[in-house]
Structure 1
Amino acid sequence: MNFASFRAFSAFRSTALAFAACASLGAQAQVTVKDAWVRATVPQQKSTTAYFQASAGTDSRLVSVTTTLTPVAELHEMAMSDGVMRMRKLDGGIALPAGKTIELKPSGQHVMLMDLAQQVKVGDKVPLTLVFEDRNGKRETQQVEATVRPLGGAAAPGAAMPAMPGMHGDHKH
């Protein structure tokens, strides 16, 4: 092979590799995730929740979530049952209909992060690995960094609050 042929072959190979990389990126960009966040905890709290928005170009499902924060991350849902709000694990994952945005949010679908070894503080960053599956069984993994923030700016449940005059806690029984 002479030098001119080698240069032509190298240029062809580079172009082919670039097109293959772009095609691969396009195939992997089926799901878009945005606004990922995790609820802050108080000291000694052993669980928290993660939320985000996701949309898919084709019918897909969120099938699992993992994180270095804890070994236990499960997909859950809050729903009314017989007049009582109940939480249940979603073993089948969470559906992402093509072209629609789903929102994991408080009092709805969410990621439960359990067996926490440390407090999760406002401003921390939590890495989440999300696994999606399309209707053909092809899996796509996405790495997302979730920002820790308070839930609605209010104190977390169980946080100590001072007694206020006139409230039930300021008198003896």
Structure 2
Amino acid sequence: MGRTSRFGAGLVLALALGGLTACANDGNAAAPSSSATAASTPAGLTVRDPWIKAADTGMTAAFGTLVNGGSTDVTVVSAATEVSPMMELHETTMVNGAMQMQPKQGGFTIPAGGEHVLQPGGDHIMMMGLTTPVQAGDEIVVTLTLGDGSTTRFTAIGKPFTGAQESYAPGAHGSAMPSMSAGAHS
């Protein structure tokens, strides 16, 4: 059964959450748009315009906008998908004069009635060790775990995107975390 077929059933139940890709934006390319629609979770969380940067191997990321339509804050603490055995919630910060990706301690908190943007060069959901390529048009189901232990799913669309200028070489000081620089990257 093909990847799109496997995830087709998940699309019916999926919420359109923020898709992710890799980390930085060169400022010249706009993020791809998505035709996915948002659906509300019991906690009031939706994901608008979710997408994943197409990649054959290695790492990529999911992006979109987390929208909290509820009356209480919601925290996303982890993510999972079949195409990546290791996913982390990441932020991009300045470390020793260079931009670097790192795990977001405590997760992403979306205030009641607010939004949290996941975008190249900012917060995102990192997907490491891809088990299968993510190609343009693929529909990838992602499950988010919230701080209260509940889960919600969304489907992100694989999109080609050249605006991300990230390097997945080990970061400074022996860290295995990806780092960002202004040079040519995958």
Map 1:71-110; keep pairs closer than 5 Å. Answer: 71-110=85-124
Kindly tell me: are residues 145 and 95 of structure 1, through their superposed partners in 2, closer, same or farther at Cα, counting changes over 3 Å? same
> Which amino acid counterpart does residue 53 of structure 1 have in structure 2?
T
Q: How many residues align?
A: 126
Map 1:14-33; keep pairs closer than 5 Å. Answer: 28-33=42-47
Kindly tell me: are residues 132 and 107 of structure 1, through their superposed partners in 2, closer, same or farther at Cα, counting changes over 3 Å? same
Residue aligning to 1:49:
61
Identity %: 35
Query: Structure 2-normalised TM-score?
Result: 0.61
Return the index of the structure with the highest Cα Rg: 1
Residue aligning to 1:146:
156
Kindly tell me: are residues 156 and 84 of structure 1, through their superposed partners in 2, closer, same or farther at Cα, counting changes over 3 Å? closer
Could you tell me how far apart the structure 2 residues matched to 1:155 and 1:141 are? 29
Q: Higher relative contact order at CA 8 Å, sep ≥6: structure 1 or structure 2?
A: 2
> Which amino acid counterpart does residue 160 of structure 2 have in structure 1?
P
Unaligned ranges ≥5, structure 2: 1-39, 168-186
Kindly tell me: are residues 77 and 27 of structure 1, through their superposed partners in 2, closer, same or farther at Cα, counting changes over 3 Å? closer
Contact 2:76-2:146 at 8 Å conserved across structures: yes
Q: What do residues 47-90 of structure 1 show as CA deviations (whole Å, max 9, x unaligned)?
A: 10001211222112111100011111111111223431111112
Q: Which has the higher helix share?
A: 1
Moved over 6 A (4+): 155-158
Residue aligning to 1:64:
78
Contact 1:150-1:156 at 8 Å conserved across structures: no
Kindly tell me: are residues 143 and 83 of structure 1, through their superposed partners in 2, closer, same or farther at Cα, counting changes over 3 Å? same
Could you tell me how far apart the structure 1 residues matched to 2:110 and 2:164 are? 32
Unaligned ranges ≥5, structure 1: 1-25, 159-173
Query: Structure 1-normalised TM-score?
Result: 0.65
Residue aligning to 2:142:
128
Q: Secondary structure at the match of 1:28?
A: coil
RMSD: 2.3
